Structure 1
Amino acid sequence: MKTAVLICPGRGSYTKAELGSLARFPDQSLLARFDAMRRAVGQETLSDLDGASSYSVARHTRGDNASALIYACSLGDAMSLRGVKLLAVTGNSMGWYSALACAGALAPEAGFEVANTMGRLMQEHLIGGQLIYPFMGPDWAPAPDRKAELLALMCNINTRAGHVLGLSIDLGGMLVLAGNEAGLAAFEAAVPPLEGRFPMRLGNHAAFHTQLQAPVAALGRAALPATLFAQPKLPLIDGRGHVWWPGASSTDALYAYTLGHQVTEPYDFTAAIRSAAREFAPDLFIIAGPGTTMGGAVAQALILSNWRGMASKADFQARQSAEPLMVSMGLADQRKWVTA
């Protein structure tokens, strides 16, 4: 039996192609309970959102809808795994909430309450915004000097009067930056366009993982009790690369991290993958659904970690072709490898 680390995706992973994904959710009674929880607070049900006749950016990417959809899809995929031994769980950004449930630190309904509450609070306040910009080239070779240049530019912009800009997510070969409109616009004006799409603004995204979200974090702590949290059943790797071990984790500290640091400080997804690789050395890195947007970032993070000697996109592709080390559950041909 192959060993694996499960990776839960964050915001932006539920796109048009994912409409209808919850039809394969393995426990429809649990999905009905999620629907009842949303109905009780006046929100559209997941069944209605996922079962819509067409995808709407305005409707499906809202934080109060997207977070709940993504959580349910990721949890359903984790519940569907067969024939693999999970060694640990991690996630990207809001995928941390999904990871908490997949690792057993939150019961399924408690995890849904956390993801849904934080998604709603983010949408209600929508403080600041995000953009994404790559520092790796098309060959995915490590480019530390280019990364340092971009971070220096970010810091310079952040010192300007009326400008707020900071690192939101260290995402493989890409930087996700967050700030106010002046800070984001200044960065966009200062960097060359790449690939016809970067720098890319992320619609309906707030300035996640920055101090701008301190009011949202405080509201989250007021709305969500620490009693929701339990000891994880599987090791959890957070957005610092820190491992929360079963039987040895403070649930109060886990609560404080989830509704404190995780909301207001940069999320280092690259460090999380580096810890997953070096601490657990799995046969497979399994990316839960929804979507297929995380594969590049995971591969780039493994290259930056020099995992198994990989130093470029060509190295990763050769390794993946010879003996796959990454499985995307959003791809039907790969999903069957880990659900049969």
Structure 2
Amino acid sequence: MKTAVVICPGRGTYNTAELGYLRRHFPDPRLLSAFDDERAARGQETLTALDGAQKFVMSHHTRGDNASGLIFAASLGDFMAINREKVEVVAVTGNSMGWYSALACAGATTPEDGFRIANTMGTLMQQAMIGGQLIHPWVDEDWRPDPARRAELLALIATIAGRPDHRLFLSIDLGGMLVIAGNTAGLKAFEAAVTPVQGRFPMRLGNHAAFHTPLQEPVAEQGRAALPVSLFRRPAWPLIDGRGAIWWPGATDPGALRAYTLGHQVVEPYDFTHAVAVAAREFAPDLFIVTGPGTTLGGAVAQSLILADWADLPDKASFQSRQKAAPLLISMGMPDQRPLIM
């Protein structure tokens, strides 16, 4: 049996290729029906209808009030589908919105309460739609770190943030990428100041608000008003948050977990890179399992492991070579990798 840290993805991972993901993979019809009932009671389209649509519609499926529920359910369903005779889960973490999925996977909420949290926060953020996000790399195309470039980009963010009417922040430390968030003036200023690289960066993220920044304080306040402490409990598995802090099963205060989830986690930067490094160093798993939907988080996990000097992986080529010889990272959104842990 192999040990594994499970990692839940965030927004932007349910796209055209993922349409029908719940129909194909979700293992518990009763639970999916409960999620549908929660949304129907709110006057929202059910997950079954969204996932079963004939066509993926970017403007509709990627809205926060729709994407959050779809991604949560896909992640939780994949976690439930892991073969526990093959894999021993030793810890759980997630990226950004994936924190809500991680709460449920780790047992810090029931599946139904976790869905309520994810769906509520996604809906509140969509209703407020404060600011936006873009993503820009600081490693080269071979995933080799360039600390000087990272420092330059962070300095640029600070400089732009100091201008009148410009708001700009580091949102997520995502392996070799910086996710940057702010208001329209701040984002446009950043885009104008950097040289485009790799043919696609800086890249605006559609239907994304300024997550993990002080701009989201109104959303955090609404979340605290809507989501009581009774939804939270001690996790069954160690849970690594967006600071790299570990919430241990026997030493977690549900009130403190709620305070982090609906406070710091919403309005401060999310350090996914550090969370992965802590997962590697504290738990030394045989595998890192990224649940679905999508496959885009795998690169950030690999980059985070390179930055953590894990398993003697200096660059992209070495990681790919390791993957071919003995997979370290399993992405459940990839049909050829999913069976390895089923």
Normalising TM by the smaller chain, what interval?
A: over 0.9
Distance 2:117 2:146 in 1: 37
Segment drifting more, 97-106 vs 136-145: 136-145
Percentage of pairs with the same residue: 67
Q: Are positions 1:35 and 2:33 aligned together?
A: no
SS in 2 for 1:327: strand
SS in 2 for 1:307: coil
Kindly provide the amino acid, as one letter, of the partner of residue 166 in structure 1.
F
Where does residue 76 of structure 2 map in the other structure? 75
Superposed CA deviations along residues 52-83 of structure 1, whole A, max 9, x for unmatched, are: 00000111000000000000000000000002
SS in 1 for 2:56: coil
Q: Deviation of residue 195 (structure 1)? A: 1.9
Whether the 8 Å CA contact 1:240–1:271 is kept in 2: the answer is: yes
Where does residue 168 of structure 1 map in the other structure? 171
Q: 2:214 aligns with which of 203, 211, 223?
A: 211
Where does residue 90 of structure 2 map in the other structure? 87
Kindly provide the amino acid, as one letter, of the partner of residue 317 in structure 2.
A
Kindly provide the amino acid, as one letter, of the partner of residue 176 in structure 2.
G
Q: Residues 63-212 of structure 1: matches in 2 within 5 Å?
A: 63-82=64-83, 83-212=86-215
Whether the 8 Å CA contact 1:229–1:251 is kept in 2: the answer is: yes
TM-score, length-scaled by structure 2:
0.99
Where does residue 51 of structure 1 map in the other structure? 52
Q: Deviation of residue 233 (structure 1)? A: 0.2
SS in 1 for 2:190: helix
SS in 2 for 1:309: coil
Q: Deviation of residue 308 (structure 1)? A: 1.3
Where does residue 272 of structure 1 map in the other structure? 275
Q: Deviation of residue 322 (structure 1)? A: 1.3
Superposed CA deviations along residues 166-206 of structure 1, whole A, max 9, x for unmatched, are: 00000000000000000000000000111221111111100
Q: Are positions 1:316 and 2:301 aligned together?
A: no
Cα root mean square deviation, aligned: 0.5
Whether the 8 Å CA contact 1:142–1:311 is kept in 2: the answer is: no
Where does residue 22 of structure 1 map in the other structure? 22
Q: Are positions 1:306 and 2:304 aligned together?
A: no
Distance 2:229 2:170 in 1: 28
Q: Deviation of residue 121 (structure 1)? A: 0.1
Q: Are positions 1:244 and 2:225 aligned together?
A: no
Distance 1:315 1:238 in 2: 28
Kindly provide the amino acid, as one letter, of the partner of residue 159 in structure 1.
G
Distance 1:330 1:308 in 2: 24
Where does residue 4 of structure 1 map in the other structure? 4
Kindly provide the amino acid, as one letter, of the partner of residue 78 in structure 1.
F
Superposed CA deviations along residues 219-255 of structure 1, whole A, max 9, x for unmatched, are: 0000000111000000000000111000111111100
TM-score, length-scaled by structure 1:
0.99
SS in 1 for 2:90: strand
SS in 2 for 1:22: helix
Distance 1:142 1:279 in 2: 23
SS in 2 for 1:3: strand
Distance 2:312 2:200 in 1: 31
Runs of 5+ consecutive residues of structure 1 not aligned to the other structure: none
SS in 2 for 1:104: coil
Segment drifting more, 187-196 vs 118-127: 187-196
Q: Deviation of residue 261 (structure 1)? A: 0.2
Whether the 8 Å CA contact 2:141–2:198 is kept in 1: the answer is: no
Runs of 5+ consecutive residues of structure 2 not aligned to the other structure: none
Distance 1:244 1:250 in 2: 9
SS in 1 for 2:341: coil
- In the TM superposition, structure 1's runs of 4+ consecutive aligned residues that sit over 3 Å from their partners are none
Whether the 8 Å CA contact 2:175–2:273 is kept in 1: the answer is: yes
Distance 1:142 1:203 in 2: 27
Q: Deviation of residue 25 (structure 1)? A: 0.6
Segment drifting more, 217-226 vs 141-150: 141-150
Whether the 8 Å CA contact 1:155–1:166 is kept in 2: the answer is: yes
Q: Deviation of residue 309 (structure 1)? A: 1.5
